[in-house]
Structure 1
Amino acid sequence: MNTNAVPPSRRPRIYLAGPDVFFLESREIFQALKAQCERLGMVGVEPSDGGIAEGFDGTDDEKAQRIYEGNIALIREADGVIANLMSFRGHEPDSGTVFEVGFAVALGKPVVAYGVEEGSYAERVSAAVPCRPDAEGVMREAGNGLMVEGLGQRLNLMLTRSAALEADAGAALARLAGLLESVKRQGAA
């Protein structure tokens, strides 16, 4: 029996992971995501600010710890996660979001990601950084010899193998709703 099944009397809670918290229009982004969750019978939960009130006079470390603890608690309480894994400040997704994906997966929560560009990670890196294949055909950065992860994955394989990928947030939420409904039916059986 799946211990992660959503109780039949409660709407699934979905943690909305991503770098969206950094955008000027973050409020609008989260309002739209929550509205999409509502339409699918779920509750969207945006990342926490740690319950820090305006005028908080603690240190930056204290603030960071409260934000961390608040988001860990929200992920633990969530039934699933959607994650915006768009390229953020480079070729990779936001590192905090990647941590949240790994944490959710470790807890056995379903994760569906979106925002990932089409094509392989190796193709994107090779378009931005001079690369060439070595004698064995492994793609490497020309300047330093670092291997560029291949295998045709759209991101690092640890992300693409642990989270389903969808084109956009709406598709990610719809897929997650279907996964949670399937878990719910299995838990009832």
Structure 2
Amino acid sequence: MDETTTGKLKVYMAGFEVFRTDAVELGKQMKALCEAYGFEGIFPLDKDIKPSPTKWETAQAIFAGNVKLVQKADVIIANLNPFRGHEPDSGTVFECGLGYAMNKKLYGFVSDKRTQAEKLMPGINPQTGLYQDGMQVENFELPTNLMLSVPLTIVEGGLEDALKQARQDLL
């Protein structure tokens, strides 16, 4: 755990909030919430990305910047709510995997902690047990895919609920 600069554990807040039109202001609010729970918040927009000549170069700079922010963190707290479909944001999922590989403490939050099978039930054929796309539904009685539910501590609620759990576990 790296508490060297502020004496506080650093929390990287992974999630699709960066796509909101008020992302900068929301990031400040989220960081203030981290502070209220005794953590130093790191928001994915906390990097200085210079304009690049191409979209590819801009994408590379954003990727490298986010990796550095994850490296600085002690804890990852991820918004695992569905984003544009049934699953969490793929960038957020990548950051969780990166954090796992770096031995970070991992937390996630969802607004609905029912199992994936329960959430997908309307699209499951009762005769075959298959989802409407003709494939099986993972059913380990977990709120997300096992590759997230196993390594992360997942709480029902929002960022504040995850911060409460992390404070209880880590401080």
Fold equivalence (TM over 0.5): yes
Task: Decide which structure has the larger Cα Rg and report it.
Answer: 1
Find the counterpart in structure 1 of residue 87 from structure 2: 92
Equivalent in the alignment of 2:35 = 38
1:5–1:30 CA distance, 2 compared to 1 (3 A): closer
Please say if residues 47 and 65 of structure 2, whose CA atoms lie closer than 8 Å, have aligned partners that are also in contact: yes
Cα deviations by residue, 1:21-56 (Å, 9 ceiling, x for unpaired): 011222232122111111122111110475223xx2
Shift of 1:58: 1.8
2:2 and 2:9 in contact (8 A); partners too? no
Residues of 2 paired with 1:47 and 1:8: CA distance?
Answer: 19
Structure 1 segment 1-189 matched on structure 2, within 5 A: 4=1, 6-7=3-4, 10-48=7-45, 51-53=48-50, 56-127=51-122, 129-132=123-126, 134=128, 139-142=129-132, 144=134, 146-166=135-155, 167-181=157-171
Match of 1:186 in 2: none
Give the aligned residue type for 2:17: D
Fraction of identical pairs, as percent: 33
Give structure 1 stretches of 5+ with no counterpart. Answer: 182-189
Give unpaired runs (5+ residues) of structure 2.
none
Superposition deviation, residue 9 in structure 1: 6.5
| Alignment length (residue pairs) | 170
Structure 1 residues 95 and 58: alpha-carbon distance in aligned structure 2, compared to 1, 3 A threshold = same
- Higher relative CO (Cα under 8 Å, sequence separation at least 6) belongs to 1
